[in-house]
Amino acid sequence: MVEKQRILVLYATQTGNAQDVAERVGREAARHHFKPVVESMHLYDPSKLPQEKIAIFVVSTTGQGDPPESMRVFWKFLLRRSLGPHWLESTLFSVFGLGDSGYQKYNIIGKKLDRRLLDLGGTSVVPRGLGDDQHPSGFEAGLDPWLASLWVALRRHVPLPAGLEDPRPEDTGISVLDPPKYRVTFHHPLAPESKLATLPESLKTDIVARWVEHGRARAVVDSAGNPFGNARDHNSSSTGFGPPVMPIFAKMLVNSRITSEDHEQDVRHIELDLGSSGAQYVPGDILTLLPSQKLASVDKFLQRCGLDGDTFVTVEANDSDVCTIAQAEDVETVCKPTAVLLKTIVEALMDIDSASPRRYFFEVMSHFASAEHEKERLQYFATPEGRDDLYRYNQREGRTVLEVLEDFPSVQMPFEWLLQTVPRLQQRSFSISSSQLAHSNEAHLTVAVVEWTTPFKRKRRGLCSSWLASLDPKIGKVFLPVWFTKGAIALPSPSVPLILVGPGTGCAPFRAFIQERVALSNAEEAVAPVLFFFGCRMQAKDFLYESDWSAWSQGKNVLSPDVGGDFFVAFSRDQPEKVYVQHKIREQGKKVMQFIQSGAVIYVAGSANKMPADVMAAFETVLAKETGWPQEKATKYLRDLERRGQYVVEAWS
């Protein structure tokens, strides 16, 4: 047997893109006669890295320059001073980063990781690659040339095993379909019972029973391992950190629209009762949940794919011999722990009607198209030459898996391939807009219903936000499975002044901040004042929480000028010339400077497009004007604040 060189591929992902890239690296590595091992960073012991001859890293940058959650322990280990400049002197490496150039710190995590690996003595095989979501072809515009150069460069270090041939550069791999990573065994619809099937009829629709069955489906699929047979953390999702085994089942108390009915943007104020969970959170924390897919869409998907949702299936790694129908006549005994309703797997894991499929989906589809014109189009989409056209057809239009399958009716993909290539249903996170000091057993959310129009004038709605907006606690009990995590921002000591900048739903965490300080003040604790800049389009249509800000700007409350605070709002469309929060910051330069000189912490939250950069520029202008400093010194001062955690940004796209 030919001994193949092991190649480690580590990924850190937030939405699944980095994992998708890592698995592509693994597939191509196998075609180039390497032995690939693909792993999420949180599952790999970083102390073993010097033992790897070749290590490839695929990492996303999240928020305003943060590593994904699954990378944080790994990154902290790499930053140890004790490692030294020769720690990785025997390791070849390369880094591919995924980011969005619309953010100020574009691909900063990939860049930092590349520099750190060099500092530790690693040898870079090829310069780091950077994928940009803003590129007309998406991140793959950077990925394709980086991968092509990677295999050429690696051959200079690792000779080709005797008797083997590397694929030609022009071979895209489309002509060969790699084995699927899963093996799916179908059982008779009434053969082994699932846990849900054994519950009393009255409990089958209960949210707890549904969560248990969905969690079981996730565990079954995750336990099947990654495409190259490594152990996987069964309690984690495909992106590294999944839902808890048992969340909090919070009862929805209020779901009210807080923008006018004739306004183009539907923003919801949602109040949740945490019941007897005893859950604790602090201002700045995040509430996370998994959205529900429309059952009609699930049924439509099953019908399109010719699948019986009431069939039980077992899912295993393709190289596993744990349980096959041929080996075990007694399916009830051997396979029952892993038998799940097929429909449950689709509901719980597969984002069929929201996320756009990735390029590999089209490549796999081409192998199962019976119509020649569909096969040709799919093969073209999967090539570098067709990349731009695919991006225009797919990502820019926000086409869903279901829509793509309907556009190619001759394609009949086996379920194991659908399970592998359909994007995973992703959890969604929201800044909490309440304080437990003010609402002891509740959590409030401020949710903008996501809607947009594609270049071809197709109307789109966000899966989670539109689902939340559809829930009505007035016509029946509504429970949501939720859990809490730490956010990027945290409220400092009550004695620290605050400058808050939160246009639109960016005000959500700051409503929690101010509520907390008002409650402390009412309890006779000394609190520092707050300077808050809020922005919206029109006072009459989307002035979110107007009554709250007004009340907290009176008397001895923290936004009141009587205690040194203040509240300023920019209505961008209420006058001929647009006015944004950055304009208000410049207008109030003297007050802003007083707060900064008193040691205030600056927080910025909201849309990640241009707002964070424009706000930073406004603060730089204020500093330069009020101190007489040159622009460079003002910029450096703010960067120093940022490094010390005194200038904090939480932004989302």
Question: What token pair was written down for 80?
Answer: 């140890």
**Is 464 annotated for ligand binding?**
yes
**Is 415 annotated for ligand binding?**
no
CB 390 within 8 A of CB 342: no
**Is 129 annotated for ligand binding?**
no
**Is 259 annotated for ligand binding?**
no
**Is 431 annotated for ligand binding?**
yes
Q: Nearest 5°: CA angle at 29, between 393 and 219?
A: 75
**Is 463 annotated for ligand binding?**
yes
**Is 652 annotated for ligand binding?**
yes
CB atoms within 10 A of CB 36: 27
Q: How far is CA 443 from the centre of its chain?
A: 22
**Is 107 annotated for ligand binding?**
no
Whole-angstrom distance, CA of residue 499 vs CA of residue 564? 12
**Is 412 annotated for ligand binding?**
no
**Is 487 annotated for ligand binding?**
no
**Is 581 annotated for ligand binding?**
yes
**Is 13 annotated for ligand binding?**
yes
Helices 140-157 & 17-31, crossing angle to 10 degrees?
Answer: 40
CB 485 within 8 A of CB 285: yes
Strand order in the sheet with 479-485: 428-431, 286-289, 479-485, 248-257, 267-273, 442-448
**Is 582 annotated for ligand binding?**
yes
Which residues are CB-contacts of 333 (< 8 A; sequence separation ≥ 6)? Answer: none
**Is 507 annotated for ligand binding?**
no
Q: At 360, which amino acid appears?
A: Y
**Is 572 annotated for ligand binding?**
yes
| Short-list 76, 24, 6, CA closest to 46 | 76
CB 607 within 8 A of CB 103: no
In DSSP notation, 347-375 reads HHHB--SSSPPPHHHHHHHHTTB-SHHHH
**Is 25 annotated for ligand binding?**
no
**Is 335 annotated for ligand binding?**
no
**Is 580 annotated for ligand binding?**
yes
Whole-angstrom distance, CA of residue 496 vs CA of residue 511? 17
**Is 215 annotated for ligand binding?**
no
**Is 14 annotated for ligand binding?**
yes
**Is 62 annotated for ligand binding?**
yes
Q: Is 498 exposed, middle or buried (CB count within 10 Å of its CB: 0-12, 13-18, 19+)? A: buried
**Is 84 annotated for ligand binding?**
no
**Is 194 annotated for ligand binding?**
no
Strands 530-536 and 428-431, bridge-based pairing: unpaired
Whole-angstrom distance, CA of residue 534 vs CA of residue 507? 7
Q: Is 555 exposed, middle or buried (CB count within 10 Å of its CB: 0-12, 13-18, 19+)? A: exposed
Residue recorded with tokens 């690659």? 129
- Residue ranges at the known binding site for NADP(+): 505, 572-573, 578-582, 614
- Residue ranges at the known binding site for FMN: 13-18, 60-63, 133
- Residue ranges at the known binding site for FAD: 428-431, 462-465, 652
- Residue ranges at the known binding site: 13-18, 60-63, 133, 428-431, 462-465, 505, 572-573, 578-582, 614, 652
